[in-house]
Chains A and B, each alone.
Chain A
Amino acid sequence: MLGTLFFIAAYGIYKTRNTKNIETYLHDNNERKWWEIGLGVMATQASAITFLSVPGQAYDDGMRFVQFYFGLPLAMIVISVFFIPIFYKLKVYTAYEFLENRFDAKTRTFTAGLFLIQRAFSTGITIYAPSIILSQLLGWNLHFTVLFIGIIVTLYILSGGTKAVAVTHKQQMVVIYAGMFIAFGYLIHYLNSFAGFSDSLKIAGTLGKMNLITNGQTDHGFDWSDRYNLISGLVGGLFLQLSYFGTDQSQVGRYLGGESVKESRLGLLFNGLMKIPVQFFILLTGILVFVFYQFNQPPVYFNDVALQNAKTSVYADSLRIKTDAYKAAMQVNAGYTKLLADKLKSDNDIETESAKQDLQKSFLKSDSARIEVNAIIQKANPGIDDDHDYIFMYFVMHYLPVGLVGLLFAVIFSASMSSTSSALNGLAATFAVDIYKRYIHPEAKGKTYLNASKLFTVLFGALAIGFALICSLFDNLIEAVNIIGSLIYGTILGIFLTAFLIKRVRGNAVFVAAIISELVVLYIDFSVRYEWHLPTIQIGYLWYNVIGCLLVMILSFCFSAFQSRRIPPLIK
């Protein structure tokens, strides 16, 4: 593990030792090929959280999370058509520079500010997620692990900026996918002694985990609070991914480093082709872990530290009773799972159907026993939530050979490095270009500008580490990151789409519209989350992106009726 990581970091530093100017540090001299952009974009999005949380998501909620990514290929097309040509034409360093050309300085600063807040917080979670799990599995102190990961990544970017991020994404992707493929192979190998691949999927389907396409319909019509279904994935997902890839500097920085418009477009379209199959594969790995634990006794709780705490707490006695009940239920469950596997081999439809029903009944019992155990453990450990994010690493630790465990830890570290480094680079670039050079030191250039950008990388690294140190574990980390993004992305996207599509709107109109829209989105989420007892709407978070974006566009269009008739410079 250490060998892999040091090779990646050392290679990044070696290849970027000549980074002496601001263009290379922030913008990478525009020399990346399409496949490097495609891999960079994918590595940036695939944080450590993806590999920890997505298999756990499948284990708990089935395959339907794949629908979250359905809007992504469409977003890649829209960005290729509208965003990339404009960014290239205006030769911008950050996406927000364009907003000053189109609107005014305050809209640019407001949007850059929204990005800085959202991304700094998300980066904190990106550092925190692997830290908490690695600290538990390796027995390291949590704060030490957060500092270790945070400092290594910050130093790594400092040594070479965007180029260090870009040149090592390829190596990191190789390590990441090699690790995942090997884990997948081992799962198939272990399951083979009980059931073949197809029968394993049938067992998962019997227990409701093969729900790849869901329509969100209930007896009362479409369920707007349902988080993942075909419609929310295509529409809400499109808006979320449009804002993430079109306006988030951690991604814009990746493809603006392309050699030409063509390379950038091909890189994004490559991502549009590859992303869903990749996520499908990671979710499928989670499903196989789930089936594996139907045959083999799973731990009572996948977060071992929390379990040990509960065992020594005042709840120890009730935990012991519930644990025994859960273990007994899982043993019965394993018996029914084996029976179904045998019946599936026999091709006897009637017996198979009856075995399916038996398994479903026994699974309901074992699942409710698991919920009871979880409730006690959570009572004994205030502030912690589910153990989803620990499931995959627990399997890796206990069932894979030691060398491979090391490789998969390297996967987690390198995924964390790639997404954190892109995010810190994006934060530093945005602060340097949109705040420092715009307001503090407009004459800055050459070495002063480069040094200031490096200083901002250190400051944002420290800020993200600070967030990571005070961050408490969310229900599910991948959802936490996406929810935080959705609170802000809709407004940012609305500002950009207004800029592209509604020519009559100018600075003041869009600025006021953006502030109102952001407040509305925050109200919708907070009023439900914190039970404000005020009128509220319960909707899945993917829809925040649609609401925020459309509100900015509609309101700014209305407000534009009150603006002066002076024509803005860009449209003249």
Chain B
Amino acid sequence: MEENNKYWLKWYLLVAGFLILQIIIYYFITHQFEN
């Protein structure tokens, strides 16, 4: 059961981490190109 939880935790962290990474990238794109 604990093994199972760890498996899913990794997935959730991957999805949340990718969201944060995208926000950071978009923030830099905005600063790079806007005005």
Residues of A within 8 A of B (CB): 66, 70, 73-74, 76-77, 80-81, 201-202, 204-206, 208, 210-213, 230, 265-266, 269, 272-273, 276-277, 280, 356
Contact = CB atoms under 8 A, between A and B. Distances in A.
Contacts of A201: 33
Contacts of B18: 73, 273
B5 to A, nearest CB: 10
The 10 closest A-B pairs by CB, nearest first: A205-B33, A212-B26, A210-B33, A73-B19, A272-B15, A205-B34, A212-B30, A213-B27, A210-B34, A77-B12
B14 to A, nearest CB: 8
A315 B14 CA distance: 58
A73 B22 CA distance: 11
A349 to B, nearest CB: 14
B8 to A, nearest CB: 7
Nearest to A268: B15
Contact of A208 (B8, B26, B35): B35
A352 to B, nearest CB: 12
A312 to B, nearest CB: 42
Interface residues of B, number: 18
Contacts of B32: 205
A205 B31 CA distance: 9
A213 B26 contact: yes
Contacts of B35: 205-206, 208, 356
B12 A70 contact: no
Contacts of B34: 205, 208, 210-211
B32 to A, nearest CB: 8
B19 A276 contact: yes
Contacts of A204: 33
24 contacts: A73-B15, A74-B19, A80-B8, A81-B12, A202-B33, A204-B33, A205-B32, A206-B35, A208-B34, A208-B35, A210-B29, A210-B30, A210-B33, A212-B30, A213-B30, A265-B8, A265-B11, A269-B11, A269-B12, A269-B14, A269-B15, A272-B19, A273-B18, A356-B35
Nearest to B33: A205
Contacts of A212: 26-27, 29-30
Given A211-B34, A265-B8, A70 B27 contact: no
A304 B8 CA distance: 52
A66 B25 CA distance: 13
Contacts of A77: 12, 15-16
Contacts of B19: 70, 73-74, 272, 276
A73 B11 contact: no
Nearest to A198: B33
A356 B34 CA distance: 11
Nearest to A66: B26
Contacts of B26: 66, 212-213, 280
Nearest to A202: B33
